[in-house]
């Protein structure tokens, strides 16, 4: 490509210095706005990622009884530790701390990074619930789906 004086003449035109100063001010404000917007987006990303990882880990803790009875289940501490490692692998979540506490069948989980999220799950005992329903059915005259017998 051959550059002659006519093709680069537009680069040699003179612009008053006030335009240059004004544009540099506008560009600084624009870059600051974009940086603030990106920081906010990454903070929301970290908060939502923490909530998803915590919810998944707590559901694993809540429904681990079947695997524990077979012998291949994990404890709440192991699940919490693995979920914490997984969370710290996500972008901008390296300083996050995930903890899960078990109190009976209830679980309380917390993720703490730039913001803090807490989730509580109440355990369910399906056997006790089904026994309770059978008792109610017997008390009202229903015996195993046969009324009045």
List strand residue ranges (DSSP E) for 3-145, in order: 97-103, 106-112, 116-121, 142-143
CA distance 141 to 148: 6
The band of 138, judged by pLDDT with boundaries at 50, 70 and 90, is: low
Residue 83: CB atoms within 10 A of its CB come to 24
pLDDT digits (tens, 9 = 90+) for 15-54: 666 777 888 899 999 999 999 999 999 999 999 999 999 9
- Measuring CA to CA, which residue among 40, 63, 53 is closest to residue 114? 40
Mean pLDDT score, 80-106 = 89
- Measuring CA to CA, which residue among 70, 51, 65 is closest to residue 102? 65
pLDDT digits (tens, 9 = 90+) for 65-84: 656 555 567 888 888 999 99
pTM for the model stands at 0.63
| Predicted pLDDT of residue 114 | 83
Q: Which residue has the tokens 């550059």?
A: 3
List strand residue ranges (DSSP E) for 1-149, in order: 97-103, 106-112, 116-121, 142-143, 146-147
Q: What is the largest CA-CA distance in the chain?
A: 108
Among the ranges given (78-82, 89-93, 138-142), the one the predictor scored with the smallest mean pLDDT: 138-142
Distances, alpha carbon 60 to alpha carbons 55, 64, 78, 80, 129, in Å? 9, 6, 11, 10, 21
């Amino acid at each position: 490509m051959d550059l002659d004086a006519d093709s680069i003449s537009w680069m040699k035109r003179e612009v008053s210095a006030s335009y240059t100063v004004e544009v540099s001010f506008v560009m600084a404000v624009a870059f600051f706005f974009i940086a603030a917007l990106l920081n906010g987006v990454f903070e929301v990303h970290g908060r939502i990622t923490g909530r998803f990882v915590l919810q998944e880990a707590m559901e694993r803790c809540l429904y681990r009884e079947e695997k524990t009875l077979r012998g291949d289940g994990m404890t709440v501490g192991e699940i919490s530790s693995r979920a914490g490692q997984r969370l710290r692998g996500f972008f901008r979540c390296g300083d996050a701390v995930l903890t899960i506490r078990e109190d009976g069948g209830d679980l309380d989980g917390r993720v703490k990074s730039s913001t803090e999220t807490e989730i509580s799950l109440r355990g369910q005992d399906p056997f006790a619930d089904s026994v309770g329903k059978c008792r109610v059915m017997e008390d009202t005259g229903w015996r195993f789906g046969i009324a009045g017998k």
